[in-house]
Amino acid sequence: MIDAFKKTLLAGLGAAVITKEKVQEGLEDLVKQGRISAAEAREMAEKIAEEGRREFDKASAKLGEKTRDLLANFDSRCLERIEDLEARVAALEGKSPKGSKPRTKP
């Protein structure tokens, strides 16, 4: 499960790198065509990069929150299931589950 999160995060980073390269190429083309100055291109690149960082931070925070929720839910369900299984084993063995008084045989 953690590997899946790592792969998703790395895929997102890869997409960000590709997007950055495409933005730089596009801005360089606009500078070569004379539509914008080099200073304007740098300013636009900085704005785009900052927006990308904000979006990445939002997505990372949301992913972290969802991961914590998922793990908390998973932990509680597993703990409940373990307790149920312990009670079943104890019943099958003729013993009382943890925390109960031992049963006396009639």
pLDDT value of residue 36: 86
H or E element that contains 2: helix 2-32
DSSP codes, 26-89: HHHHHHHTTSS-HHHHHHHHHHHHHHHHHHHHHHHHHHHHHHHHHHHHHHHHHHHHHHHHHHHH
Mean per-residue pLDDT over the chain, rounded: 78
Paired tokens of 4: 């899946």
State the Rg of the chain over Cα.
28
pLDDT value of residue 88: 92
pLDDT in tens, the chain (106 residues): 556 666 666 666 666 666 777 778 888 888 899 988 989 888 888 888 788 788 888 888 888 888 888 888 877 788 888 889 999 998 998 876 565 555 554 4
Between CA 83 and CA 18 the distance in angstroms is 49
Q: Where are the domains of the chain?
A: 2-90
